[in-house]
Amino acid sequence: MAASYDDIYARSLSDPEAFWAEAAEDIHWERRWDRVLDDSRAPFYRWFPGAVTNTCYNALDRHVEGGRADQLALVYDSPITGVIERFTYRELLDRVARVAGVLAEAGVGKGDRVLVYMPMVPEAVIAMLACARLGAVHSVVFGGFAASELAVRIDDATPKVVLSASCGIEPNRIVAYKPLLDEAVDIATHKPDRCVILQRPQEAAAMVAGRDLDWADAEAAAEPAPCTWVEATDPLYILYTSGTTGQPKGIVRDNGGHLVALNWSMRNIYGVEPGEVYWAASDVGWVVGHSYIVYGPLIHGNTTVLFEGKPVGTPDAAVYWRVIAEHNVKVLFTAPTAFRAIKQQDPNGELIQPEQIAGLRTLFLAGERADPDTVQWAEDRLGVPVIDHWWQTETGWSICANPAGIELMPVKHGSPTKPVPGWDVRVLDEANNEVAPGEIGALVARLPLPPGSFPTLWQAEDRYREAYLEEFPGSYKTGDAGYIDEDGYVYVMTRTDDVINVAGHRLSTGQMEEVLAAHPDVAECAVVGVADELKGQTPLGLLVLNAGVEREKGAIEGEAVRLVREQIGPVASFKTAIVVGRLPKTRSGKILRGTVQKIADSEAYTVPPTIDDPAILPEIAEALRSAGYAGG
Ligand code: COA
Ligand code: AMP
């Protein structure tokens, strides 16, 4: 009989080294590890020190050598351009080796950083794997970020080379990436030696002589590069994510632990066998795209789908079902917001043709809280298990899930089920004590974290310790609050910091406040995340103007909205700023953002006992009501 979740989970915690050493047998190691886990620098841990491997070798070469050369590795489906392209493992390896050759010729070697700023085209996947092939460290930046955000990442990661494209394509417009890249390089202090630009047919980019290379020409002329062996503990990538300040956190992923964890997750969490088609409808700019568009499926020998489109509007709310049918997708992974978008346009699921989704086995949701209505709708319409699972950029794979490949446990709507093997999840109060079942507290995971989770922040070990390890000694602070019920099911309710989740995208309200505060007429401001039917949350800004400013409020509000779009990017979905007379504060001057959010969402709230002047709350409610928020 197959082992149960309880048995496997218990073993993963009682003997993690044996557990992960066994999982590591499925990976190619050029040299095996000296120890499975190095805890000599706790609370900093390293998995598989002494081992030597290569992530690209495990994702491509070993499958080509092992009999999968002619199996599809990657299917690119782009309803936005009308293109479908298919790559076998052999074809993908050939392209990756050539692009690695381009990078090597540009001087990129082991440990060098390469910034990838790409739309959802096959070359984005090729770029990432080409870096991995050379032991170079990629940092992918999502296309919806503005030039200044790109510049911050260029300065932090100091890449030798940038891989980019002339444009991305959104349903309502072509987004010219190259001018954004040029502007970012202008703003940044660090200057990359080379930019390799993929010219897309939809828009040609102007090239900077002496710095820019045409991707197609360079690839055609390049010699294929072999794999460079790296330490298991060497970094594979840096992925920046929003934190509590304007300076994003550079999440570091290692090679060895990441290979082991992702490979294990494909069978045990997602329940797919090598050779099957797996589709993560996300973007390579997010962690979901890194782990489950690129690395997980390829390391495990699956076929991965790269989808350049939206759940609705490209061309309609039936596109997911068409893709599932056309490519024989067994497992789909997306964010709840995508299903809310589909449900909004096709509430009765009339566009879902049963024969199109007959092959689909499971739907996985993550990236934000999966609201029970959406989960129920998906269950009813698709007739397959719908699995909410909880994870973060930091962790790289899921902390809690219903592990389809081990055992499907009964679903409780609103809960991502139970901790995944390797994750010792607890709920703590402020004094670092565990709370009773059902009581809300800080969600933490006991150290050491399993393989695949981040060993550090890029060149910011102190920040890693301060942000994640100090508040609850012996544990990793997830930044989420929630509870565990009597049956051991985990519920993730809210963030404990300023992070909001907009359409599955993680953003910092603090960062938006920094941008707004720089407006010359703004004295102070507050940004809160208010409930949104489609996107889960959207940001709302309140502005207090400097004394004596007599300009029209509407003009300043419009400028504020433009500023956030220009400085952070359209992805922030910052559409509303409201000028108010003053902000509600505590007597010690802390802005009561939580109360503002509750008023905007018409939630019941108590007047905080520490409030400086309660009379301000009706004023805020009135301002919010006039701007179309409930304000009750
Ligand atoms: N490059 C440039 N701009 C981008 C972009 C990219 N790669 N991705 C998004 N944007 C822009 C959009 O065009 C939009 O701009 P606008 O304000 O001019 O309309 C803005 O950023 C917000 O985009 P988005 O959050 O995608 O909202 P939307 O209204 O266009 O679409 C959904 C809403 C729900 C359909 C969309 O968010 C979606 O498909 N989500 C799927 C979930 C997902 O991918 N989650 C990732 C984590 S798993
Ligand atoms: P990101 O780092 O962008 O993946 O965002 C991680 C954050 O998204 C988490 O800390 C949670 O706040 C939220 N999140 C992700 N998945 C879930 C989930 N299944 N349920 C609730 N919140 C989630």
430-458 confidence digits (pLDDT tens): 999 999 999 999 999 999 999 999 999 99
- Tell me how far apart the alpha carbons of residues 253 and 239 are, in angstroms, rounded to a whole number: 8
Ligand 1 pocket test target in 337, 390, 506 with most atoms within 8 Å of CB: 337
pLDDT at position 608 is: 87
pLDDT at 2: 80
Residues 357, 321: contact at Cβ < 8 Å? yes
Report the atom number in ligand 2 closest to the C-alpha of 494: 12
Q: Which of 602, 603, 604, 556 is nearest to 580 (CA)?
A: 556
Residue showing tokens 């940038």? 162
How many separate helices (H) and strands (E) can be counted in the chain?
20, 31
Ligand at shortest distance from the CA of 335 = 1
Tokens of 38: 């190095």
| pLDDT at residue number 122 | 98
Pocket test for ligand 2, best of 241, 292, 390 (most atoms within 8 A of CB): 390
Q: For position 554, what pLDDT does the model report?
A: 96
If one residue of 284, 418, 501 were mutated to test the ligand 2 pocket, choosing by the most ligand atoms within 8 A of its CB, it would be 501
Kindly report the protein residue whose alpha carbon is nearest to atom 5 of ligand 2: 392
**pLDDT for position 242:** 83
The C-alpha atoms of residue 178 and residue 80 are separated, in whole angstroms, by 20
Q: pLDDT per residue over 356-408, tens digit each?
A: 999 999 999 999 999 999 999 999 999 999 999 999 999 999 999 999 999 99
User: Is residue 571 in contact with ligand 1, taking CB distance under 6 Å?
Assistant: yes
* Residues paired with residue 457 on neighbouring β-strands, in sequence order: 251
Find tokens 């510049």 and name the residue.
151
Distance 597 CA to ligand 2 centre (A): 19
Tell me the CA–centroid distance for residue 333 and ligand 2, in Å. 14
Residues 24-58 as b/e (b if ≥16 CB within 10 A, e otherwise) read beebebeeebeebbbeeeebbbbbbbbbbbbbbbb
Instruction: Tell me the average pLDDT across 493-510.
Output: 92
Q: How confident is the model at residue 630 (pLDDT cuts 50, 70, 90)?
A: confident
Residue closest via CA to ligand 2's atom 14 equals 368
Distance CA 111, CA 121 (A): 25
Closest ligand by atom to 168 CA = 1
Which position has the token pair 């509430």? Answer: 347
Q: How far apart are CA 536 and CA 502, in angstroms?
A: 6
Task: Express each pLDDT in 184-219 by its tens digit.
Answer: 999 999 999 999 999 999 999 999 999 999 999 999
Taking CA atoms only, the protein residue closest to ligand 1 atom 10 is: 144
21 CA to centre of ligand 1 in angstroms: 40
Rounded distance, CA 236 to CA 230, Å? Answer: 9
Our answer on whether the CB atom of 570 is closer than 6 Å to any ligand 1 atom is yes
Q: What is the pLDDT confidence band of residue 1, given thresholds at 50, 70 and 90?
A: low
**Per-residue model confidence as pLDDT tens digits over 575-613:** 999 999 999 999 988 899 999 999 999 999 888 888 999
Tens of pLDDT, residue by residue over 212-266, are: 999 999 999 999 999 999 999 999 999 999 876 668 899 999 999 999 999 999 9
- Indicate whether residue 336 lines ligand 2 (CB < 6 A): no
* Strand intervals (E) in 106-265: 113-117, 137-140, 161-165, 167-170, 173-176, 194-198, 212-214, 230-231, 235-241, 249-254
Terminal alpha carbon distance of the chain: 57
Give the predicted TM-score (pTM) of the model. Answer: 0.95
Best residue among 292, 307, 310 to mutate for probing ligand 1's pocket (most ligand atoms within 8 Å of CB) is 310
Ligand showing the shortest atom-to-Cα distance for residue 575: 1
Mean pLDDT for the chain overall:
96
Tell me which residue of 524, 515, 525, 445 sits closest to 484, measured CA to CA. Answer: 445
Q: Residue with the nearest Cα to atom 43 of ligand 1?
A: 282
Residue with the smallest CA separation from ligand 2 atom 1 is 392
- CB-side exposure of 365: number of CA atoms within 13 Å? 29
118-131 pLDDT, tens digit per residue, is 999 999 999 999 99
368 lines ligand 2 (CB under 6 A): yes
Least confident of 47-51, 336-340, 497-501: 497-501
From ligand 1's centre to the CA of 571, what distance in Å?
A: 6
So what's the pLDDT on residue 247?
81
| 221 C-alpha to ligand 1 centroid (Å) | 36
Alpha carbon distance 431, 433 (integer Å): 6
Atom in ligand 2 nearest the alpha carbon of residue 287: 4
Query: Which of the ligands is closest to the CA of residue 175?
Result: 1
Find the 621 Cα to ligand 2 centroid distance in Å: 30
Nearest CA to ligand 2 atom 13: 368
Whether residue 90 contacts residue 63, with contact meaning beta carbons closer than 8 Å, is answered with no
CA of 415 to the centre of ligand 2 (A): 12
Q: What is the DSSP string of 431-465?
A: TSPBPPTT--EEEEEESSPPTTS-S-BTT-HHHHI
Which ligand has the nearest atom to the CA of 454? Answer: 2
Spatial distance between the Cα atoms of 544 and 443, rounded to a whole number of angstroms: 35
